[in-house]
Structure 1
Amino acid sequence: MIRRPEALPYRHVLTMPTTGAAVRVARETTEQVLTEWGVDRRHPCVDPVLLILAELVTNSVRHAAAVSPQVTVVYAGGPDTFAFAVHDRHPFQPALLAAFTDGGRGGEGGGGRGDGAGAASGGGLPTVVQLTLQLGGTAVVRADPDGRGKSVWITLPL
């Protein structure tokens, strides 16, 4: 059973500049966090988690850097659940279901507001949603209280 991230006992927060290097740092930190929390590198969720995380951080770097000098990854975990969020201060909130059902064409491209790489390139939000659902997880966008930023939360069973 997947538990809400707020109810999970383990936490780690990573904040870094919204630059290209953030993707590598986030991936490396994710591997370290999973290892510290007892998730073996060969666990079937690890590679998809790293891909999902890289896509979300890449989107922040590509589309939010002008208004969000930092990107934050929040990790939460427990014995049967791993969750993480990628947060930036860009106000655009992608429609995750639309990204999946229409291949990313649901008004999320262009203008620096979109999901990054589209379905044709094998990346972006359609990939994030598809992998999350295949793993039995959930993906939600949560707006900041002031409406000037958002977090994309991914919660997966282990």
Structure 2
Amino acid sequence: MSTQLEALPHRHVLTLPTEPSAVRMAREAAELALVEWGIGLRHPTVDPALLILAELVTNSVRHAAVLSPQVTVIYAAGSDCLAFAVHDRHPYQPLLSGAVTGTGGIATVMEVVLALGGTAVVRADADGRGKSIWITLPL
């Protein structure tokens, strides 16, 4: 699995209003991008990846909208991995390392990521007033 996200040949960026319709739109855009990149929607990583994506966008809509009028989703892929990030301008950074033993959305995200042999990282914005959660999954 490629660890250098900058080296992934396929990229797509989508910015949406932080409202409930963003979840569906982010998922639909992901499906279109995957097909365009030659990754079949029946690939065993795709459904779990879409579940993770939907959960992360839902979290931004539910918890960040008060400070972040937009959510940005970055999609990337290569021959051996799929990566995506969900970015908002809310400063709260969830702790991913302890989330596996918890309940709720982030715990589900981490359970699926780890079951697939993937990684999850929270990256703060340079000004500390926002963050991206990056997910990388092997294909």
If the length of structure 2 is used for normalisation, what is the TM-score? 0.97
Where do 1:57-68 residues align within 5 Å? Answer: 57-68=57-68
Counterpart CA distance in 2 for 1:70 and 1:44 is 30
Counterpart CA distance in 2 for 1:100 and 1:35 is 31
Report the counterpart of residue 20 of structure 2 in structure 1: 20
Q: Does 2:92 match 1:142?
A: no
Where do 1:1-158 residues align within 5 Å? Answer: 1-101=1-101, 103-104=102-103, 118=104, 124-158=105-139
Q: Tell me the amino acid that sits aligned with residue 4 of structure 1.
A: Q
Report the counterpart of residue 110 of structure 1 in structure 2: none
Does the Cα contact within 8 Å between 1:18 and 1:69 map onto a contact in 2? yes
Counterpart CA distance in 2 for 1:94 and 1:151 is 10
Q: Which runs of 5+ in 2 are unaligned?
A: none
Q: Tell me the amino acid that sits aligned with residue 80 of structure 2.
A: D
Q: Spell out structure 1 runs of 4+ moving beyond 4 A.
A: none
Moved more, 12-21 or 74-83: 74-83
Q: CA deviation at 1:4?
A: 2.5
Cα deviations by residue, 1:41-97 (Å, 9 ceiling, x for unpaired) = 110011101100000000000000010000000011111111000000000000001
Q: Which runs of 5+ in 1 are unaligned?
A: 105-117, 119-123
Q: Tell me the amino acid that sits aligned with residue 137 of structure 1.
A: G
Counterpart CA distance in 1 for 2:38 and 2:78 is 10
RMSD after superposition = 0.9
